[in-house]
Structures are given as structure tokens and as C-alpha cells.
Amino acid sequence: MDPRLRRLYDKARAEHKKRVEEYNRQCALRLMWRSFSQEAERYVIGAYSMKPHKLDELREFLGQYGLEDETKARILKGVKDRITVERSAASDRKGIVGGNRHRPD
């Protein structure tokens, strides 16, 4: 084989190998990012669902970090939903413990 062609071939193979490695690295990073993003959302929703409820603070922070509108809306909805469930459960417990529920005859 021509030595010049062999050098071109080896160079092309090395460049291709670098591109494949970079592609694989990017794929792994995308998978980690999705996983991390989902876990971070769950954490923020859980943290801001606890008392004291600071939705204004959460809105401010979400705005500062440049999240997509869809992500911000999903987080805020998750917090609001959890707060609603928590309040409903607390109201139910209060009714049972406080004896405010009427017993059916």
C-alpha cells in the first residue's frame, strides 16, 4: 500500500474515532442530564411543598436560573398540587380528630 494513502487512512480513522468518542460522551451526558433534571425537579417540588410555603420565592428562583417556561410551570404545578393535597388531608384529619364529622344515622 502507498505510504501516503496509509497515512491519510490512519488520520481519517483517528478522526473518526474521536468523533465516535465525542458522540458517545454526549449521549451519556444527555442521559445523565435527563435523570438529574427529573431528580432535581422532584427535590424542589418536595422542598417547596413543605411549610412554610414560599411560592413567591420559588417563582423568583426559577426565573433566575433560566429554566424553560414549561419546566417552571411543571415545578410550580407540582408544588401547588402537593400543597392542595396536604391541605385536604389536614382538613380531613382535623374533621376526624375534632369530631366535626357528622355520623350518618
Count CB neighbours of 72 within 10 A. 17
The percent of residues above 90 in pLDDT, for the chain, comes to 57
Confidence of residue 96 (pLDDT cuts 50, 70, 90): low
Average pLDDT for residues 51-55, to the nearest whole number? 88
3-state SS of 15-70 is: HHHHHHHHHHHHHHHHHHHHHHHHHHHHHHHHHHHCCCCCHHHHHHHHHHCCCCHH
Please state the rounded mean pLDDT for residues 66-71. 88
Which is nearest to 45 in space by CA: 72, 7, 15? Answer: 72
Record the pTM: 0.60
- The reported pLDDT for the residue numbered 103 is 46
